[in-house]
A = this chain, B = another copy of it.
Amino acid sequence: MRKPQPDSPTKRKLLAAAQNLMLAKGFTATTVDDVCESARLTKGSFFHYFETKEALGKAVLDRYVSTMFQAIQDAPFLKKDDPLQRIYGYVDFLIEMSRNPAKQSGCLLGTFSQELSDTHPGIRKTCAQHFARWAEALRLDIASAKAKHAGRKRWDPAALAEHIIIVVEGSLILARANQNYGVVERNLKQLKQYMNGLFGR
């Protein structure tokens, strides 16, 4: 009676609607009715696919992260041979994204961490794991870039990976408050200055 298909067009519509709403209003302020109305479905069918609202939240988070991950995996800069070029390409890619008005909506990982870390420990944990994966992916390239171009210097690749992430998240907050995503570009460029120092340019 209640074994919905794990992936159906309807479920995807619900997830897409929820993602948009939650990026705009956050998790708590987004109601199940909102999601249903936006997806042009009814609450009955919503709860056919999701046991609780929290389950929806987790699903949206996973969907968001894997979408991002995919977008990066498909980006051209990842094909560069030199890891240092990949790292700088990464930051430039983020800058380009921040210029795209369609993507000027903040990071779900950041917003969920902030509003749910105290009330929804499960979601908080999921956020932390996604952050850790993100940092680890960055760390790998940073470590080889360092080995190749800055072997002598003494600094921790993991720390730079973390720093890139927090610069992104912090810029997004300020961009949102100011309703101006130029903040992101400005600060990613300063991050590149900092990286120049680390890699000895």
Contact = CB atoms under 8 A, between A and B. Distances in A.
Contacts of A43: none
A25 B110 CA distance: 14
Interface in A166-201: 166-171, 173-174, 176-179, 183, 186-187, 190, 193-194, 197-198
A180 to B, nearest CB: 9
A24 B166 contact: no
Contact of A197 (B119, B124, B194): B194
Contact of A115 (B114, B118, B124, B131): B114
A163 interface: yes
B117 A115 contact: no
A139 to B, nearest CB: 14
Nearest to A189: B159
Interface of A is mostly: helix
A165 interface: yes
A1 interface: no
Contacts of A26: 26, 28, 114-115
Nearest to A178: B128
Contacts of A24: 118
Contacts of A106: 114
A128 B183 CA distance: 12
A144 interface: no
Contacts of A25: 115, 118-119
A166 B186 CA distance: 11
Contacts of A176: 113-114, 117, 124
Contact of A173 (B114, B174, B197): B114
Nearest to A107: B173
5 contacts: A28-B28, A28-B115, A109-B177, A117-B176, A163-B190
